[in-house]
Structure 1
Amino acid sequence: MNNLNNRTLSLQRTFNAPIELVWEAWSQPEHIVQWWGPKGMETKVIEHNFSEGGAWKYAMLMPDGNEFIADGIYIKIVKLEKIISSANFKPMTEGVEIQALFEKDGDRTSFTFNVVHPTEEYCKQQEKMGFMNGWGSVFDRLKEFVDTSNKK
């Protein structure tokens, strides 16, 4: 088995919003459509069974009309702590595990996102393809969404 660190890409963010709100943004379909996917993309939730063993499937609509499908199966869900899921983002990425980790920091939330790849080579290739920019853009949208929701 390859060293996990060599197969994992991570991003960290701190959100100026309570952990409950950030958790809801990840676990409720009506919130997910507000931020999932890079800027300029519209997201449709096709399937969302938020439970261990449950499937999720989202379609991301590109401005040019093309559609990307993201799907996976929830492996582990610990309320206000972690969401671990298998994930495919066809055609770019397949067979990865995504880990969303939440930590309460007063009235803010520390958030870590890990993507574990099947091999080190695949991990390096994904990083070169723009992992940080792509997911960075998604979490900028998430930050905007929770910050705005928190002010309501």
Structure 2
Amino acid sequence: MAENDLAKRTLSLKKTFDAPIELVWEAWTQPEHIAHWWAPKGMSLTVVEHNFKVGGKWKYVMPMPNGGEFISEGQYSEIVKFQKIVTSANFRPMTEGVEIHALFEKNGNRTNFVFSVIHPTEEYKIQQEKMGFYNGWGSTFDRFATFLATINNKGK
């Protein structure tokens, strides 16, 4: 598959978190932390499964206002501590069959972060972008940054 094709199917967000990489990694990978930030503001989240290892599966469930459930799930295919996490992902009922790449880079006492979602087709990527990819994930990462500040200050 050509690199150009991959670029046409990928949506990415870049952030710098004001927390050391060890803390960012822990908050991203530990279920007791994930429950505090993965869902949009005001929503609750239940971590049903979280087997953080290559081949391990994860599943998070969020109750929706209409009484249904929003289910996030996937399987880890690559984990490089403090650097990279690759996982398949479904976000039902909105998004299915994507791959997430979360890249972490130490930047002194801060952490550079790149979040990419690779879609099966360019058309699907465009549809997901129009559905609010940047707003949705942007607000999730704002919540993540707030959570990081909370746990970072506890350690001081």
TM-score (norm 2): 0.94
Tell me which stretches of 4 or more aligned residues in structure 1 moved more than 4 Å: none
CA distance in 2, matches of 1:64, 1:141: 23
CA distance in 2, matches of 1:148, 1:63: 28
CA distance in 2, matches of 1:64, 1:126: 22
1:22 to 21, 24, 27: 24
Query: Match of 2:130, as an amino acid?
Result: K
Q: Give me the identity figure in percent.
A: 67
CA distance in 2, matches of 1:15, 1:147: 9
CA distance in 2, matches of 1:71, 1:51: 14
Post-superposition shift, 1:60? 1.3
CA distance in 2, matches of 1:148, 1:96: 31
**Counterparts of 1:16-55 in structure 2 under 5 Å?**
16-55=18-57
Query: Match of 2:99, as an amino acid?
Result: E
Deviations 1:54-111 (A, max 9, x none): 0000001234443101100001000000110000001100000011110000000001
CA distance in 1, matches of 2:107, 2:53: 26
Query: Match of 2:142, as an amino acid?
Result: D
CA contact (8 A) 1:88 1:94 kept: yes
CA distance in 1, matches of 2:77, 2:119: 15
1:128 to 110, 127, 130: 130
CA contact (8 A) 1:41 1:63 kept: no
**Counterparts of 1:1-152 in structure 2 under 5 Å?**
1=1, 3-152=5-154
Query: Match of 1:139, as an amino acid?
Result: F
CA contact (8 A) 1:21 1:146 kept: yes
CA distance in 1, matches of 2:15, 2:68: 30
Deviations 1:24-61 (A, max 9, x none): 11110000000002112111000010000000000012
CA distance in 2, matches of 1:61, 1:25: 22
RMSD: 1.0
Unaligned runs of at least 5 residues, structure 1: none
**How many positions carry a matched residue from both structures?**
152
CA distance in 2, matches of 1:81, 1:61: 32
